[in-house]
Amino acid sequence: MDANPKQQTQGALSGLRVLDLSRILAGPSCTQLLGDLGADIIKIEKPGLGDDTRAWGPPYVTGVDGKPTAESAYYLCANRNKRSVAIDMSTDEGADTLRAMVPHFDIVVENFKVGGLAKYGLDYENLSADHPGLIYCSITGFGQTGPNASKPGYDILAQGFGGIMSLTGDPDGEPMKVGVGIADVVCGLYATTAILAALRHRDQTGQGQHIDLALADAQVSWLVNAGTNYLTSRNPQPRLGNQHPNIVPYQVFGTKDGHVIVAVGNDTQYTRFCDIVGRPDLATDKRFAKNVDRVAFRDILIPILAKEIAQHPKDWLVSEMETAKIPGGPINTLPEVFASDQVAARDMVVSVEDSHAFSGYVDLIGNPIKLSKTPITYRQAPPMCGAHTQEILTELFGSDFKIKGT
């Protein structure tokens, strides 16, 4: 899908303005989502450095001169639909300018350490005293309270603290993190949801509020059934590799020429699957006929199924499961994902104009939200650091406004 950065379709959040003081992934993914929905996102960055993730490469965007730019692919993933302003808040003039900007904004998103913005007068207590309608979202590693509040937080630390690594990986291997920064991303989604709820409250009361979000809390929250399994039984779930703690068979199996996912969700599907692999007897065996029994006897059943499945080509098996309406499918590589006709049909790759790129555009992952009346728009490629500084200062304060902290 080609996206025009000058497209002015009114989004669901059009008219809202967000002051983005966040960096890395959790905060930027939240503000990017708000931007995709139409909000005006102003990203504040340190002059000459910008968001930490700009340097998290390679790969980097290839510039018009054919050489790598300072914009990493990591930075691209969470910073479209934003305008960048370079201000050094550590200077008095920079901090003064940011405080002067706040009345023009509905929302502030920040991920500094607890209390880190108070010395600049940019904390919630200081700003809300003069701007009671301000919605202020703080994202930290462990939250504003508790014994770990002062500790720094990165995604892998949240995954470790929150238990997901103890559940992930081969049973005989080491604890394993998820392949992307999932604690960051989920925390960003929770932040977006909280901001929308706070906006609704403000619509009704005129009052803003402080939102306190922690990577570790977000991680614990999405332990979902593994967490409630423990809370119900007090038995910790062991690492099961690709197996499911409550459903069998629901995992990856090796085939004659690769791997497939088999996700049998009920006993009827299991019976049909046994027919496909030529073992209808496994559906009538009392040890395996019901899911509760298959879970109890998985150590016996799985090797039997694995032997049968290994005799068949993966494409044949996927086709047979689709015909029998049994959930299952391939395990795609990233080239296969982005070459998929399904991904193309859903506009999950978007090309956004970027005058700094050699090709004239950058390819980005599309937003999965499909709104019928207020569709997602892609108006701005991830900006260069400080690319809009004077533009924004002029919008807010007039053409003669200059600061030394830019």
Closest C-alpha among 122, 115, 133, 119 to residue 98: 122
φ, ψ at 5 (rounded to 5°): -65, -15
313 by DSSP, 3-state: which?
Answer: coil
155 tagged catalytic: no
Using CA atoms, how far apart are residues 194 and 372, in angstroms rounded to an integer?
23
Cα of first residue to Cα of last residue in the chain, in angstroms, is: 36
Nearest to 172 by CA among 123, 117, 217, 238: 238
What are the two backbone dihedrals, phi and then psi, of residue 190, each rounded to the nearest 5 degrees?
-60, -40
Q: In terms of DSSP H, where are the helices of 234-388?
A: 267-276, 281-284, 291-296, 298-309, 314-323, 334-339, 341-345
CB atoms within 10 A of CB 37: 22
Looking at 184, 212, 217, 354, which residue is catalytic? 184
In whole angstroms, give the CA distance from residue 292 to residue 121. Answer: 58
Cα torsion through 364, 369, 370, 371, rounded to 10: -120
Q: Report which of 154, 185, 136, 147 is spatially closest to residue 27, judged by C-alpha positions.
A: 185
Rounded to an integer, what distance in angstroms lies between the CA atom of residue 30 and that of residue 108?
A: 11
Cβ atoms of 382 and 75 closer than 8 Å: yes
Catalytic residue ranges:
184
